[in-house]
Structure 1
């Protein structure tokens, strides 16, 4: 499952929204994350890849890629290793959360 968004904010601001606890809580909400969730790869302001293990769900892979685009940033969210049923649910949930991120950052529209 892949979702792409474009933001008028520079990569540093989008990165902060993905990684700073206060900003993260504003768009992702209060989340209890299983001890199985861990960072797989991190390149500041470019890439955040996680072993994702929300309570009651199997381990999956979530990857956020940031690409500078003029004055803004393209965010690519890729969620892998989920079956079709969970994929449809994940698409809906990520859509909801990214709408909140849109509001936080000021979306320039979908890419």
Structure 2
């Protein structure tokens, strides 16, 4: 793990702020990825402890205890084993929609993650953080414990900042 992806994500400015798009292919069925995205015991292996009530309007709570960040939002789009969307926000914070899309293929599943952020946020930092978590997801799918890949994060942050500076 932790090599910077050969196909890193994209990041662009939009009228509302920023939009990042990250993609990965995993040699696992969509059901395995869906479990990692939605089941509390699986989420804790690669993202953080949390729970998602899998219905439109259902509660989303993810607790990053080490940083003090708690996500407390609701499901805004849901299609089991295919689409999950919620905001990476809490309370009266601005919306930061995350959209996870799973597409099966002959060799496993393509995961696409779209991250939308307000204009006053550090989009390079956010997308780099998700690069790290997607790397951790790959390890968790293989049942390999892994810590957050700081080196990958630092490389990814430079990549995303360069996209914004161009």
TM range (shorter): 0.7 to 0.9
User: Over alpha carbons, which structure has the higher Rg?
Assistant: 2
2:89 counterpart residue number: 53
Residue ranges of structure 2 left out of the alignment (5+ in a row): 1-19, 50-61, 64-69, 143-166
| Structure 1 runs, 4 residues or longer, greater than 6 Å off | none
Give 3-state SS (helix, strand or coil) of 2:122's partner.
helix
1:5 to 13, 21, 24: 24
**Matches for 1:70-85 after TM superposition, within 5 Å:** 70-83=106-119, 85=121
1:88 counterpart residue number: 124
1:18 counterpart residue number: 37
Which one has a larger percent helix, Structure 1 or Structure 2? 1
Q: Matched residues in 1 for 2:121 and 2:71: separation?
A: 21
Q: Give the conservation status (yes or no) of the 8 Å contact 1:50–1:62.
A: yes
Higher relative contact order (CA 8 A, sep 6+): 1
TM-score, length basis structure 2? 0.57
1:44 to 80, 93, 103: 80
TM-score, length basis structure 1? 0.83
Cα 1:84/1:66, change in 2 over 3 Å: farther
Residue ranges of structure 1 left out of the alignment (5+ in a row): 107-111
Q: Give the conservation status (yes or no) of the 8 Å contact 1:46–1:67.
A: yes
The Cα RMSD (Å) is: 2.0
Alignment length, in residue pairs? 105
